[in-house]
Amino acid sequence: MGARERGFTLVEIVVAVGISVILLVAGGAWMLGMRPGALRNAADDFDADFAAARAIAGGSGNGATIAFLPRIGTPGFIMRVYSGRPTASGAVTTTNVMDVTSGATVSEATFGSPPFAIFLNSAGYPTGTGQYPNVSGTSVSFPVIAQQPPCPSNGIVLTFANAQGATATRSLQCNADVAGAATADPSPTPNVPKLAPSFMLAHWTSDTGPLHFIAAEFGYFHWYASAIGNTCATQSSDTGAPPATFANGWPYSLTTAGEMSASPAPPAAPYSWPTGDPNDPPATFRLSPVLHDGGLCTVRIVDDYNQEADANVQVMGDLQSSLSSLTFLSPTAPAQTLTFGKTFDSETLNLQAARSACAGVVAVTIPPPPAAQSAPSTTPTLATMTVTPVSAGSCTLVVGDQYGEPTIAIPINVKAAATLSVWPPAVEYPLAGTSLGPCAANQARAFDGTGWSSTDVLADQSQYGITTDANGCITGPSGATEGVNEVGYSGAFAPLSLGCLQSSILSNVGWVPASALGPTAQNIESGASPSAGCTLTYADDRGMLPSAPAGSTANALAQVVGCSEVSGGYVPVGSTCSLDTPDSDGVCDGFDVPPNEAYSYDFASWSSTLTSAPGTPYTETGPLGSLTSQENYYNKDGNPSYSWATIAFTRTASGPATFYIYTEETVETGHGIIAGEPICYMKETLIGPSQVTVE
């Protein structure tokens, strides 16, 4: 019997089958990676994840990010979808969209090979950048990109390739995504026209780039035109007018001469001819936003069958500031807040500021912006920044936002911490027509503010423009009584209606000359009513604010001295008050209310109509109880208030009666026990007959 061949045990068979399976899987995967089917899968998976990314971008309030990452140790790429764009730290977050992991390669015409990123705003419009995000092993991070990068001029073009050199492309226009090449597929016409994109977003009112679109209809090759003329149908806008119009220069695209000559002819409205693709050639259109008119509208396009396709347009308003400039009255003045806004903005508003231009003058803080509005409207989306003064100086703060629109220049001025001062620190004023001590009539006197005696008077200080003599009597200029000064100040000073002016103790006459502009100015005040003391306050333009900063106002003390109005009458002989003698209350007791004393007049201006000289006896005769004589006194100054006065003498009994006819002048003799309170008495002057005899 010959020897038998040895068989396989069960264990050996199991091991052999396992090895075969492993080799089959590995080889199959390798072969799959080489086949065109793998390339198609990569492109199809991109389409699916890109659609998911656009959906996320539309609802996140901050768009979406698509990252193309290199695979570690093996050819291919990983495509990963994130929520949000890297406008701030932590703004990009993971999603539950499944990663695309492919053995094919991918590159972008401008960004190159992975890593690179595509950013989608809330409308799904793409931009992107190369060598981003940062990749370290399996760790991925997204440095902040404050302002979204521009879309490449030719759009974003992705090329997928396998090892055999087969390729597939995906093109993303700056405002629409369009799939790769198609083959002819005859179909009946007309079909329903479509517009791509169906939504367009301009981020400011001169942002023309995004407002381009195409019209296409499967199997249709004639013109497309606006159904409502040169505008879009307004839904809402800042001005009520359409926020966008069709750009000049239609037709925007042409086709063959035969097609363009075919009937019907295009209407007298913006129109375009389809060209290119053999099945559904696109016709291009362009809109222009209307300057300074944000809003929402609908583009209405028809084909020559009057079939309509619509697309929605959103034009964000321009960035606006609550203030066109900032002024701080000193480096220690409170911080101010600038509020910026954009109408028809449904995204968060991320402000940017060129802080370096104002370094050392102000500090700029930008807090996190409020949440995005639920829908665009005339109510602006707001964001704020706080500006705090640091030191005196001027600069221009340039402010923009994440959209890259034209910036706003805010001039800023921080004023130096100057201090307003007044000289003299205290002034004594006479009542009109009177004098103070050694000073001339109506001349004020400067004091140091510690008292009101001759040892407290001040010599002039010329830097305030006020001069005095050796007795402190203020000599000028031109009647000025106070000087105000503030170094570096060119605005106007003003006396405030407080203290002396509010209580009518002083009267403000004006400025000398008639200008209150700094840095030094002189003011005229005059005494209006006697007072033991009050405060006169001056202010610069900062001091006129409700909350005046320190150093913006300055005070001077003031008092007004003098006596009351002059009074007069006739005085019987035998009075208790002798001539030129002061009495405790300033008038002669017993002479206050004699019969017929009802006249007040200026002693220096009255004279008697009688021919007899003052002091000469005068005799009148007549029946008892009758008016026997009257004496008229006339005001030589012609004062209409006291043009004449009459003193009548009535005979009541026989025998002589002696009268003296006087006027009484109020005279100040000096300061009393209370500082600033004058002692006055009546100085009598004989102007009429000293004796009248009634017989």
Let me know: does 319 contact 400? Beta carbons within 8 Å: yes
> Band of the pLDDT at 189, cuts 50, 70, 90?
low
Mean pLDDT computed over 617-635: 39
Mean pLDDT computed over 200-229: 91
pLDDT over threshold 90, residue 413 = yes
Task: Between 154 and 118, name the one with better pLDDT.
Answer: 118
Find which of 297-301, 479-483, 587-591, 648-652 is predicted with most confidence, using mean pLDDT: 297-301
Cα 421 versus chain centre, distance: 31
Let me know: does 428 contact 456? Beta carbons within 8 Å: no
Burial of 117 from C-beta contacts in 10 A (0-12 / 13-18 / 19+): buried
In whole angstroms, give the CA distance from residue 230 to residue 297: 13
In whole angstroms, give the CA distance from residue 333 to residue 362: 11
pLDDT of residue 7: 44
pLDDT over threshold 60, residue 204 = yes
Task: Between 511 and 582, name the one with better pLDDT.
Answer: 511
In whole angstroms, give the CA distance from residue 214 to residue 230: 16
Instruction: Spell out the residues 6+ positions from residue 171 whose beta carbon is closer than 8 angstroms to its own.
Output: 155, 156, 157, 158, 177, 178, 179, 180
Let me know: does 120 contact 64? Beta carbons within 8 Å: yes
Let me know: does 172 contact 180? Beta carbons within 8 Å: no
pLDDT over threshold 70, residue 592 = no
pLDDT of residue 611: 36
Mean pLDDT computed over 99-113: 92
> Band of the pLDDT at 691, cuts 50, 70, 90?
very low
pLDDT over threshold 80, residue 234 = yes
> Band of the pLDDT at 417, cuts 50, 70, 90?
confident
Cα Rg of the chain (Å, integer) = 50
pLDDT of residue 436: 78
Whether the CA torsion 479, 484, 485, 489 is positive or negative: it is: negative
Q: Let me know the angle formed at the C-alpha of 262 by 259 and 267, rounded to the nearest 5 degrees.
A: 100
Mean pLDDT computed over 275-291: 86
The token duo for 27 is 């080889």
pLDDT of residue 680: 40
pLDDT over threshold 80, residue 237 = yes
What SS3 class is residue 261? helix
> Band of the pLDDT at 29, cuts 50, 70, 90?
very low
DSSP string, 92-146: -EE-SSPPEEESSEEEETTTBSSSEEEEE-TT--EEEEES-SEEETTEEE----S
pLDDT over threshold 50, residue 523 = yes
pLDDT of residue 152: 87
* Cα dihedral 561, 564, 568, 572 in deg (nearest 10): -80
The token duo for 386 is 């706080």
Task: Between 436 and 336, name the one with better pLDDT.
Answer: 336
* Cα dihedral 199, 204, 209, 212 in deg (nearest 10): 30
Q: Which amino acid is at 523?
A: N
pLDDT over threshold 80, residue 432 = no
Count other C-beta atoms under 10 Å from residue 649's C-beta. 19
> Band of the pLDDT at 629, cuts 50, 70, 90?
very low
36-60 helix and 10-34 helix, angle to the nearest 10 degrees: 70
> Band of the pLDDT at 175, cuts 50, 70, 90?
low
In whole angstroms, give the CA distance from residue 517 to residue 494: 9
Which pLDDT tens digit goes with each residue over 531-586? 778 999 999 887 877 777 778 899 999 988 765 433 333 333 223 333 333 333 33
In whole angstroms, give the CA distance from residue 42 to residue 77: 10
Let me know: does 468 contact 482? Beta carbons within 8 Å: no
Which pLDDT tens digit goes with each residue over 45-65? 898 899 889 888 877 878 899
Let me know: does 283 contact 274? Beta carbons within 8 Å: yes
What SS3 class is residue 49? helix
Mean pLDDT computed over 67-76: 93
Query: What average pLDDT does the structure give for the chain?
Result: 75
Mean pLDDT computed over 243-261: 91
pLDDT over threshold 80, residue 621 = no
> Band of the pLDDT at 76, cuts 50, 70, 90?
very high
> Band of the pLDDT at 675, cuts 50, 70, 90?
very low
The token duo for 262 is 């075919």
pLDDT of residue 148: 77
Mean pLDDT computed over 430-456: 82
pLDDT over threshold 50, residue 520 = yes
Q: Which residue has the tokens 């300033």?
A: 586
The token duo for 36 is 């065109």
In whole angstroms, give the CA distance from residue 607 to residue 617: 17
Task: Between 649 and 457, name the one with better pLDDT.
Answer: 457
Which pLDDT tens digit goes with each residue over 449-490? 888 887 888 877 667 889 999 888 999 888 899 999 988 788
Which domains occur in the chain, in start order? 39-177 (3.55.40), 190-315 (2.60.40), 320-369+376-414 (2.60.40.2310), 421-561 (no CATH), 567-694 (no CATH)
Provide the percentage of residues in the chain whose pLDDT is more than 70: 72
In whole angstroms, give the CA distance from residue 79 to residue 69: 6
What is the DSSP code (8-state) at residue 454? G
Burial of 424 from C-beta contacts in 10 A (0-12 / 13-18 / 19+): buried
In whole angstroms, give the CA distance from residue 344 to residue 322: 17
**Bridge partners (DSSP) listed for residue 66:** 81, 118
The token duo for 524 is 């005229």
Let me know: does 362 contact 388? Beta carbons within 8 Å: yes
In whole angstroms, give the CA distance from residue 691 to residue 612: 11
Query: Which of 3-17, 43-57, 331-345, 555-569 is predicted with the least confidence, judged by mean pLDDT?
Result: 3-17
pLDDT over threshold 70, residue 259 = yes
636 phi/psi in degrees, rounded to 5: -70, -25
pLDDT of residue 264: 92
Q: Which residue has the tokens 């759009």?
A: 155
In whole angstroms, give the CA distance from residue 321 to residue 86: 25
Mean pLDDT computed over 602-611: 34
Three state DSSP letters for 613-672: CCCCEEEECCCCCCEEEEEEEEECCCCHHHCEEEEEEECCCCEEECEEEEEEEEEEEEEC
Q: Which residue has the tokens 């954009």?
A: 342
